[in-house]
Chains A and B, each alone.
Chain A
Amino acid sequence: MARIIVVTSGKGGVGKTTTSAALSTGLARHGYKTVVVDFDIGLRNLDLVMGCERRVVYDFINVINGEAGLNQALIKDKNTDNLFILPASQTRDKDALTPEGVDKVLTALSEEFDYIVCDSPAGIERGALMALYHADEAIITTNPEVSSVRDSDRILGILHSKSKRAEQNLEPIREHLLLTRYDANRVARDEMLDVKDVEDILAIPLLGVIPEDTDVLKASNQGIPVINIPESNAGLAYDDAVKRLLGEQCPMRFLDVPRKGIFQRLFGGQS
C-alpha cells in the first residue's frame, strides 16, 4: 500500500511542480519506490522539470481510457533509481480525468509503489479536486504573500470537506506547510511575511522553508530537479524537507540573512 501525497496550493505558480519533482526524487533517493503523477491535464510541465519530455509516449488519460497499460505509460527516471513519472496529457479535455479513472490508476499504482506524489494543478476545479481526493498527506505549498496564504487556507478547507478521508470520516489527511520562494533579506527588511506569520495564520505544522534561489530556474532549464543540483540552497532545503517527511528531525535553514564577510560589508553594496 502506497502512501499518497498531494502537492497543492490553490494559487498558481507558487512552486508545486518544482516541489513535486524535488520531493519525489528525494523519497526515491532514500530508497522508496516512488511515482510522481502529473494532474495538470492540458498544461503538463512535470515532464519538463524532470527532463523526460522526449520520452513521453502514453499518458495518464491513455491509461484511464484503457488505451495503454500503466507500464507503458510510466517513465523510469534516468538519473534516480526507484523513481517513475506518470505524465499528464497535453491536449485532451479535462473531463477525461474521471473519479473512477483516477481511482483505478491510483489503486493500481498503490500496489507497486511506496509513495505516490500527486502534482496538483492550480485552482479548485476538477483537476485539483481529483489530485487531493485520495491523499493521505498534503503538502500545502505557499509563498509568503497575501493571495497565496489566502488560497492555501481555502485549500485546507477543501481538504477538510471534499477529500476521501473527510467524506468517509477516516483519520484526517496529514497536512504540512511548505513555505517556498522565501527571501530572508526581504523578511529582515519587514517587506515580506515571515515563517511565523504564515504558520500562525494557517496553523498547520511546518515541513520546510525553501529559499528563493536562482538555481531553481537553472535546474528547470536543464530538466533536472533542483534537489539534484549539488550545493544549491533550494536543493538542500528540499533535502531537509524530505527527511522531515520521513520523520527525521532537522533544524530549519536559510531563515536568516547570511552573515556578510568583512570585505562584503565594507565594499559590497546592497544585497
Chain B
Amino acid sequence: MSLLEAFLRRQRRQPSGSSAAIARERLQIIVTHQRAGQNDPGYIPAMKQDILEVIRKYVHVGEEHVNINFENHDDVSILELNVTLPEDRAMDVDVS
C-alpha cells in the first residue's frame, strides 16, 4: 500500500461512517454481549420475563430497565438483578 493510499484510508476511517467501520462497531457490541451470556443457565430469559411482570404490577418499567447478570465463580454463582426505576416513583398502579 502506498503512503498516499494508507493516508487516504486512515482519513476515511476517522469518521467511522464507512460500512467496514460500522461492521466493526456492531461486532464489538455483539461479541461482548454474546460472551457475557455464554455461561448463563438457559432459564435466564424466561426468569427475566417473570421478574419483569412482577415489577410491572407496581412500577412501569421497560425491558431495557431490567438488567440480569449471572456470574460463575469457582464455588459460588451470583445472580445480580438491577432495576432502574423511573424518575417519577409514584406508583400509579392500584395495589389492592
Interface residues of A (CB under 8 A from B): 145-146, 149-150, 153-154, 157, 161, 187-188, 190-194, 197, 201, 256-257
Across the interface, which residues of B come within 8 angstroms of A161, CB to CB? 38-39
The interface of chain B, by Cβ under 8 A from chain A, is: 1, 5, 9, 12-13, 18-21, 23-24, 26-28, 30-31, 34-35, 38-39
- Rounded to whole Å, the gap between the CB of B65 and the closest CB of chain A is 26
B31:A190 contact, CB within 8 angstroms = no
Kindly list 15 other residue pairs between chains A and B, CB separation below 8 angstroms, not including A150-B27, A150-B34.
A146-B23, A146-B26, A146-B27, A149-B31, A150-B30, A150-B31, A157-B38, A188-B5, A188-B9, A190-B19, A193-B20, A197-B20, A197-B27, A257-B1, A257-B5
Contact between B27 and A149 (Cβ–Cβ < 8 Å)?
yes
Q: Are A201 and B31 in contact (CB under 8 A)?
A: yes
Would you call A197 and B24 a contact (CB within 8 A)?
Answer: yes
Classify the secondary structure of A's interface with B: helix
Q: Which residues of A contact B9 (CB under 8 A)?
A: 188, 190
Q: Considering the chains assembled together, what is the distance between the CA atoms of A242 and B8 in angstroms?
A: 35
The secondary-structure label for the interface of chain B is helix
Chain B residue nearest in CB terms to A259 = B2
In the complex the two chains form, what is the Cα distance from A188 to B23 in whole Å?
Answer: 15
A256 touches B1 (CB 8 A): yes
**Chain B residue with minimal CB distance to A154?**
B34
A188 CB contact (under 8 Å) in B1, B30, B34, B35: B1
In whole angstroms, what is the CA distance A191 to B19 when docked?
A: 5
Please tell me if the beta carbons of A190 and B34 are within 8 angstroms of each other in the complex.
Answer: no
Cβ-defined contact, B30 with A190, below 8 A: no
* In the complex with contacts A154-B34, A187-B20, A201-B1 CB distance below 8 A: no
Rounded to whole angstroms, the CA-CA distance of A145 and B39 in the bound complex is 25
Do residues B24 and A193 form an inter-chain contact, with CB atoms below 8 A?
yes
Q: A154-B34, A190-B12 are in contact. Are A201 and B28 (CB under 8 A)?
A: yes
Taken together as a complex, chains A and B put the C-alpha atoms of A256 and B2 apart, in Å, by 10
A-B contacts, 28 listed (Cβ < 8 Å): A145-B23, A146-B30, A150-B27, A150-B30, A150-B31, A150-B34, A153-B34, A157-B34, A157-B35, A187-B20, A188-B1, A188-B5, A188-B9, A190-B9, A190-B13, A190-B18, A190-B21, A191-B19, A192-B20, A193-B20, A193-B23, A197-B20, A197-B23, A197-B27, A201-B24, A201-B27, A256-B1, A257-B5
Whole-angstrom CA separation of A194 from B12 in the bound complex: 14
Known contacts A188-B1, A190-B12, A193-B24; decide if A153 and B31 are in contact (CB<8 Å): yes
CB-CB under 8 A from B1, the residues of chain A are 188, 256-257
